[in-house]
Chain A
Amino acid sequence: SQELEQSPQSLIVQEGKNLTINCTSSKTLYGLYWYKQKYGEGLIFLMMLQKGGEEKSHEKITAKLDEKKQQSSLHITASQPSHAGIYLCGAVPVLYSGGGADGLTFGKGTHLIIQP
């Protein structure tokens, strides 16, 4: 089954500093999704990456997918308090048996705290 490992599990960063969150898959990814979750709320879509080597940016957040399509990183530049929350990566495997779920498998998330 698809497994996604996120690192670090939690991160405390001083406001204004840059940070990187990683997501590693045990299998080649068909698509890699990044979501953000604020405590007690639902998930907000950030970005989707599908092609090896692809990179996308949204405001101060940049996500990359490596050429082998097994690892993605999320980079935040000049972090702000609004960036605090849980970041989750989700993926659909390239190959699945047909009996498996077509929904996303998620990593356990990275808890990001921004210190003023």
Chain B
Amino acid sequence: DAGVIQSPRHEVTEMGQEVTLRCKPISGHNSLFWYRQTMMRGLELLIYFNNNVPIDDSGMPEDRFSAKMPNASFSTLKIQPSEPRDSAVYFCASSLARWANTEAFFGQGTRLTVV
């Protein structure tokens, strides 16, 4: 398996534009997590899905952020409109079950810069 695949690896966009980050989890994994990493706040959980259903989105910073998982092999994180403070590395991770007792595999991340 190629692991968790995220695209794009790098994204530079202007403030106000819509940004869509994509994630393909490992085949067979039923839990998917979106994280955001910044120097100031470290790694923060944004939202996670179990069997394609959003379980908890309390980490999503505001209404400008939305995430979907239309099927077991694809998820998107959308920011509309984007702001400079959204600049961060966004990671997607997947696992066979919820975190307890299982390892989660991380993608390489998408480095987002909003100018």
Contact = CB atoms under 8 A, between A and B. Distances in A.
Interface centre among B55, B99, B104 (most CB of A within 10 A): B99
A17 B100 CA distance: 34
A45 B43 contact: no
A30 B102 CA distance: 12
A45 B103 contact: yes
A102 B109 contact: no
B58 A92 contact: no
Contacts of A43: 43, 91, 93, 106
A99 B58 contact: yes
A103 interface: yes
- Size range of the interface on A? 20 to 34
Contact of A104 (B56, B104, B109, B111): B104
Interface string B95-108: 00011110111111
Contact of A31 (B42, B50, B100): B100
Contacts of A41: 108-109
A41 B106 CA distance: 9
Nearest to A43: B106
A101 B109 contact: no
Nearest to A42: B106
Interface of B: 4, 33, 35, 41-45, 48, 50, 55-56, 58-59, 91, 93, 98-101, 103-109, 111
Interface stretch (A54-62, A69-77, A105-113): A105-113
Given A42-B91, A42-B108, A103 B103 contact: no
B108 A102 contact: no
B70 to A, nearest CB: 20
Nearest to B109: A42
Contacts of A102: 48, 50, 55-56, 98-100
Contacts of B93: 43
B91 A101 contact: no
